[in-house]
Structures are given as C-alpha cells and as structure tokens.
C-alpha cells in the first residue's frame, strides 16, 4: 500500500479511535509514538494523517503540548461517506477552496446577463428546496455548477465534475445534519449562497471569492461539528 493510501487509512483509524473511545472536544490524543505503535505504522505516516486531520478541523495541534480533539465528525457524515473514505470526502474542501473561490471570482467578472439569470434561478430552486424540506443537494450542486459555468472557463466545471461523487455526499450530509439542528442552520445556508450570488450580480470579484470561501468553510464546520 502506498504511503498516501496508508495515511488515508490511518486518518480513518484515528477518527475511529476518537469515536470509539468517546473522546470529547479538548481531549488529548496519544503521542505520535504511541499512535504509531498502536496502528503498526511509522511516525511519518502518523504525522501526515495528523496534519490532514488538523487541516480538516478535526484535531488541533499545539506545539509542545500534543494533538487535541477539536471536532467530532457527525455520525450522519460517516453514514454518507463511510469511515474509510472520510479523508477523501473532507479533503475535497481543500480543493474546492481554491477551485470554487477563484471560479466565483471569475464568474463575477465575466458573467453574462443570461448567466446571471441562470444562477438566480438555481438559487431560487435551492432556497425553495431548503425551506420545504426536500433533499436539496441536487439543487445545491446545480447552483455551484452554474456559478463555475459563468467563469467562461470550461476547465473549472471539468474539475468540479471530477469531484462530483464525494461533493454530492458531503452536500447531502450537510443538509441532513443542518435539518437536525435549529432552523437558523438552514437559514445560514441560504444566506451564504445568497451572498455569493449577490456578489456575482454586483460583479464584485473579491466579494464573490470571499463569500464562496466563507460558505465552504462554514459548510465544512457543519459536517464535522
């Protein structure tokens, strides 16, 4: 097994350790050496998995103190993605931060009137689905696709489509998780999407990129907390 795939496996095993041991937010993980012995891998692999767990907001590395639990991934997220694929699913956010923020920036600069109407229609359908209790992930995906399409660079959409399966699961989980919480969660999702569309409408490139990055950041928080 390659080092990268092994790190994916160890990533999932550490999450399982957190859930199986019922560790709470703020609890300290065992030291790297102990984790390496427990999981029968090198410390290099442990370090790589921990770096990625920290990047995904699940753990918090404190210099000289160790690694602590920052968030516990929702059981609903794991149900949608499966534990072995969790690192891949959450890893799509790092790609989307780059891909979709820049795509939104270019959409704001280059969108046509027809593009804007298409984006606004997609936002209306997503808002209606979220408010009426429908699954909404199809509408969510379509809005993101139309924003990237408005960038006038087909490569953005090709790249996004390559992530389709994992992003679709994350979107399903995000809506499902939000519906188990107070209504403010769904309202926040609507506001975040609206802010992106407002910036594209105003041809505010920096605002569109920032709004997209904020939405994705908040979306990641929803599925891991």
Q: To 5 degrees, how large is the angle CA 155–CA 57–CA 139?
A: 45
Same domain, 92 and 30: no
| CATH number of the structural domain spanning residue 20 | 1.10.10.10
Q: pLDDT by residue (tens digit) across 94-136?
A: 999 999 999 999 999 999 999 999 999 999 999 999 999 888 9
Domain that holds residue 183: 76-224
- Residue 215 pLDDT class (50, 70, 90 cuts): very high
Give the residue from 10, 5, 9, 7 showing the smallest Cα distance to 29. Answer: 10
Same domain, 100 and 129: yes
Is the entire prediction scored with pTM above 0.85? yes
Q: Do the Cβ atoms of 86 and 41 come closer than 8 Å?
A: no
Q: Is 60 exceeded by the pLDDT of residue 29?
A: yes
Same domain, 13 and 95: no
Considering only residues 75 and 129, tell me which one the structure prediction assigns the higher pLDDT: 129
Q: To 5 degrees, how large is the angle CA 70–CA 2–CA 8?
A: 20
Mapped onto helix, strand or coil, the DSSP state of residue 61 is: strand
The last residue of one of the domains, among 46, 72, 98, is: 72
On the CB side of 125, how many CA atoms lie within 13 Å of its CA? Answer: 17
The last residue of one of the domains, among 72, 99, 117, is: 72
Considering only residues 76 and 123, tell me which one the structure prediction assigns the higher pLDDT: 123
Same domain, 99 and 190: yes
Q: pLDDT by residue (tens digit) across 138-188?
A: 999 999 999 999 999 999 999 999 999 999 999 999 999 888 888 899 999
Give the residue from 225, 187, 220 showing the smallest Cα distance to 74. Answer: 225
pLDDT at 4: 58
Same domain, 66 and 29: yes
pLDDT at 150: 98
- Measured CA to CA in angstroms, residue 50 lies from 55, 82, 194 at distances of 8, 19, 35
Tell me how far apart the alpha carbons of residues 140 and 124 are, in angstroms, rounded to a whole number.
11
pLDDT at 1: 47
Q: Do the Cβ atoms of 208 and 200 come closer than 8 Å?
A: yes
Domain total of the chain: 2
Q: What are the backbone dihedrals phi and psi of residue 59, each rounded to the nearest 5 degrees, phi first?
A: -125, 165
Q: pLDDT by residue (tens digit) across 40-74?
A: 999 999 999 999 999 999 999 998 899 999 998 87
Same domain, 28 and 51: yes
Q: Is 80 exceeded by the pLDDT of residue 2?
A: no
The last residue of one of the domains, among 38, 72, 106, is: 72
Q: Is 80 exceeded by the pLDDT of residue 79?
A: yes
| CATH number of the structural domain spanning residue 177 | 1.20.120.530
Burial (CB count within 10 angstroms: exposed 0-12, middle 13-18, buried 19+), residue 26: exposed
Q: What are the backbone dihedrals phi and psi of residue 61, each rounded to the nearest 5 degrees, phi first?
A: -90, 125
Same domain, 96 and 115: yes
pLDDT at 78: 83
Same domain, 103 and 182: yes
Same domain, 148 and 210: yes
């Amino acid at each position: 097994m390659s080092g990268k795939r092994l790190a994916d496996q160890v990533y999932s095993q550490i999450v399982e350790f957190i859930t199986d041991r019922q560790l709470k937010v703020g609890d300290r993980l065992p030291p790297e050496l102990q984790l390496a012995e427990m999981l029968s891998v090198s410390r290099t692999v442990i370090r790589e998995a921990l770096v990625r767990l920290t990047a995904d907001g699940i753990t918090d590395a404190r210099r000289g103190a160790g690694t602590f639990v920052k968030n516990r991934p929702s059981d609903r997220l794991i149900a949608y993605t499966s534990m072995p694929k969790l690192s891949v699913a959450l890893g799509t956010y790092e790609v989307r931060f780059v891909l979709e923020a820049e795509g939104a920036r270019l959409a704001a600069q280059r969108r046509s009137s027809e593009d804007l109407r298409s984006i606004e229609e997609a936002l209306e359908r997503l808002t209606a689905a979220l408010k009426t209790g429908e699954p909404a992930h199809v509408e969510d995906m379509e809005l993101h696709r139309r924003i990237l399409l408005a960038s006038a660079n087909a490569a953005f959409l090709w790249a996004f489509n390559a992530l389709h399966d994992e992003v679709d699961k994350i979107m399903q989980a995000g809506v499902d998780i939000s519906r188990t919480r107070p209504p403010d969660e769904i309202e926040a999702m609507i506001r975040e999407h609206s802010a992106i569309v407002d910036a594209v409408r105003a041809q505010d490139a920096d605002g569109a990129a920032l709004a997209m990055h904020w939405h994705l950041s908040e979306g990641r928080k929803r599925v891991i907390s």
